[in-house]
Amino acid sequence: AFSTKNGYLFDTAFTVLDHAEILAKNPKQTSVRYLINPPDDQPKAVKIVPKAVDKPIVAAKPMTNSQTTASQNIIAKLKFEDAQDAYKREDYLTALTKLDDAEKLLGQITAKTLYLRIMIKSKSLTNQFDINLEQIALLRDNCNQYFTQKDITTEQESKYKDVYMVLEVFKDYEPFDNIVKGAKAGNAKNMVALSEVYRSVYNIPKAKEWLQLAAQKQEVTAFNNLGLIAEIGDVLHDVKPDYVKAMSYYLEGNARNDARSLYFTGRLYYYGSGVSKDTVIAQQWFEKSFASAQKEAQVGNADAMDFLGDLYTNSLLKKVDYVQAFNWYTKASEKGNAKAFASIASLYNNGYGVNKSWEKAVANYEMAISKGYFWSYISIASLYRQKDYLDDNKAQALYLRAAEKNSSYAMQVLGDAYFYGTRVTRDYPTALAWYTKGANRNSVYCINQIGEMYFGGSGVTQSYTIAKDWYTKAADRDYASGYHSLGYLYYYGKGVVQN
């Protein structure tokens, strides 16, 4: 209003300034209003400004509701523009904060703000190191909310495709929307189910978080799974195995006669992990586990049915019977157990207890994936690499889906494909990008391969020094090829003093 050539808008300028001072909680009028002074070549303004300037400098009057709304809308617009700018520069946290502020000032969510929120969150979630299923469920809910609009404008219609594509990117997670809602509502079984999906996308901290909540509700499976996480550790998040803690969780499960906890207790004794090695005691625990699994399976416990199938394929128990395993896996799958489908697929792929069938293996792996057992992406991709069923495009697409679920092995496979030009056009920059993603997820193979690229100058500036740094990282993780490559550098004095 101040900069306009129409002098009558100076009164508007004062009004907006009044609003700004009240919103800033600064009723004291300052000389800033005297900046509203028109140039000499604007006669209309000259007639009005003296009257405005002659106003006594007193505290501004409280605004009416309509004035407050007008001011809030102005600031909301500015906040929205800030959110847009932050989104463009990929500062997604700031973008969401500014967007939240804008919606609070508006007092509602508009189609415009909802669209921007969807775009910001989709980019943010795609670029996050760990997959967050709760945030994905919320994003999917936002997308579905966007599609419920009435009186669609041409501009909004053009954005429908963008929102639809976001749903497509995250469509693998659709089956878990209700699981997320149930877990948030306090359902212990949903908490365990959600933790299993988190484990399948390698987000162990979130898996552990939900398992601890389920354990507080005395959900027996939670104790076993917490023990398993403690026993294995989490290299990606720098958590070392803790056998003592694992045993404490297993004992909680044992007190509830949980078959898995009983088995894993025996396994600690069998390998001497955190306890003195004792195969006799181990077998005693294995027998208790088998009896518990049988008892629970007989009364229709799907998890027990699946685990009983595992026990019939486990050589440690000396009860290997693939026909029995197949029968119990089938019963578990009929109750919707995701892992059971993957186990059935493995039996069909190898011809254990059933006639070998590539088609049935694929079908069951696909069922496992649809129920959130994302580890099966790797398994099914390998089936499309078999000689009689070779389909490079299908295999590549499945490895890509696995990589999107944070499988470092899939990242390794994709990196190799582009590095060696295996069934795709050789592309060193793309290979390096996949190896780097794998290295960031602690794939020692990918770490070493980056060293190889710098050693040979493959798509990068050749550097023995940088190669040595990557080989050292691989060797620090006890990787044989890392040791070998460092030995080569020292033997020939490449990038180091010959020694």
Spell out the CATH class of 300-381. mainly alpha
DSSP state letter for 458: S
Give pLDDT tens digits for 410-437.
999 999 999 999 889 999 999 999 999 9
- Please state which CATH number belongs to domain 65-167: 1.25.40
* Averaged pLDDT for residues 254-274: 96
pLDDT at 50 over 90: no
Give pLDDT tens digits for 98-114.
999 999 999 889 889 99
- What is the C-alpha to C-alpha distance for residues 303 and 189, in angstroms, rounded to an integer? 12
Position 45 confidence tier, pLDDT thresholds 50, 70, 90: very low
Task: Decide if domain 186-296 falls under CATH 3.30.450.70.
Answer: no
Domain locations along the chain: 7-53, 65-167, 186-296, 300-381, 407-499
* Residue-level pLDDT at 22: 59
- What is the C-alpha to C-alpha distance for residues 271 and 402, in angstroms, rounded to an integer? 32
Which residue has 């027990």 as its token pair?
Answer: 304
Render 267-295 in DSSP notation, one character per residue. HHHHHTSSS---HHHHHHHHHHHHHHHHH
* Residue-level pLDDT at 83: 96
Position 471 confidence tier, pLDDT thresholds 50, 70, 90: very high
DSSP state letter for 28: S
Give pLDDT tens digits for 275-326.
999 999 999 999 999 999 999 999 999 999 999 999 999 988 888 999 999 9
* Averaged pLDDT for residues 142-168: 84
In the chain, what percentage of residues exceed pLDDT 70?
Answer: 85
Identical fold at 186-296 and 407-499?
yes
CA distance to 13, 22, 207, 223, per residue, from 58 (Å): 17, 12, 60, 68
* Residue-level pLDDT at 7: 45
Give pLDDT tens digits for 483-492.
999 999 999 9
Spell out the CATH class of 407-499. mainly alpha
Structure tokens that stand for 144 in this block: 């579905």
* Residue-level pLDDT at 84: 96
Sign of the CA dihedral with 337 first, then 183, 122, and 90 last: negative
